[in-house]
Amino acid sequence: MIWLPAEFVHPLRVDLTDGIHLRPISPDDLAIDMPAVMGNQPMLWAKYGDAWGWPPADMSAEADRDDLARHAREMVAHESFNYAILPTAEDRLLGCVYIDPAEEGDNAAAGPVADVSWWVVADAPAGLGAAVDAFVPEWLARAWPFTVVRYPFGEVG
């Protein structure tokens, strides 16, 4: 499926707020991803469990690394995108932004349609959740070629 224009280059780093940025997640992030995901597993399961079956309560480090590797491959192929929300030191994962194509048959627009979602850790710096809520829709409108952006997990709307 051709989803994005061939000439589109996805951002490799985006400043979100002072000291916080987004960048594509990778398998090398396992040491910060695993504690963030499993430390927030009940919240993440409540949000994504029915739709994605993720993250299971017994997720292993190997399964998490495999998931991160899949995300990295999908980003290179422009199939979907997973951006890590990180402090400058990149020593802690503060959340993720997911950008996925709309499901087949669910795309009546005359251009790329994205389903977008995000989460932040429960102990994120004060105001980070609101900053992400404000930033992501604006960033997508400014820097991405989407005709329509949907928020199936209720972040906007």
- Per-residue pLDDT for the chain (157 aa), expressed as one digit of tens each? 568 998 999 999 999 999 999 999 999 999 999 999 999 999 999 999 999 999 999 999 999 999 999 999 999 999 999 999 999 999 999 999 999 998 765 555 678 999 999 999 999 999 999 999 999 999 999 999 999 999 999 888 6
pLDDT of residue 103: 79
pLDDT of residue 143: 97
pLDDT of residue 107: 55
Q: What CATH number did the domain enclosing 45 receive? A: 3.40.630.30
80 domain-assigned: yes
CA distances from 53 to 28, 44, 95, 116 (A): 23, 10, 18, 17
Residues forming a β-bridge with 82: 98
pLDDT of residue 156: 82
2 domain-assigned: no
3 domain-assigned: no
pLDDT of residue 108: 56
Model-level pTM? Answer: 0.94
| The one-letter amino acid at 122 | A
Closest CA to 153 of 49, 10, 40: 49
The residue segments making up the domain with residue 51 are: 14-150
User: How far is it, in rounded angstroms, from Cα 123 to Cα 19?
Assistant: 16
49 domain-assigned: yes
The single residue listed with the structure tokens 């404000």 is 134
Structure tokens at 144: 């991405």
User: How far is it, in rounded angstroms, from Cα 57 to Cα 41?
Assistant: 7
* Cβ–Cβ under 8 Å, residues 100 and 115: yes
Q: Cβ contacts of residue 105 below 8 Å, gap of 6+?
A: none
130 domain-assigned: yes
6 domain-assigned: no
Structure tokens at 114: 């994205």
How many domains in the chain?
Answer: 1
156 domain-assigned: no
pLDDT of residue 155: 87
114 domain-assigned: yes
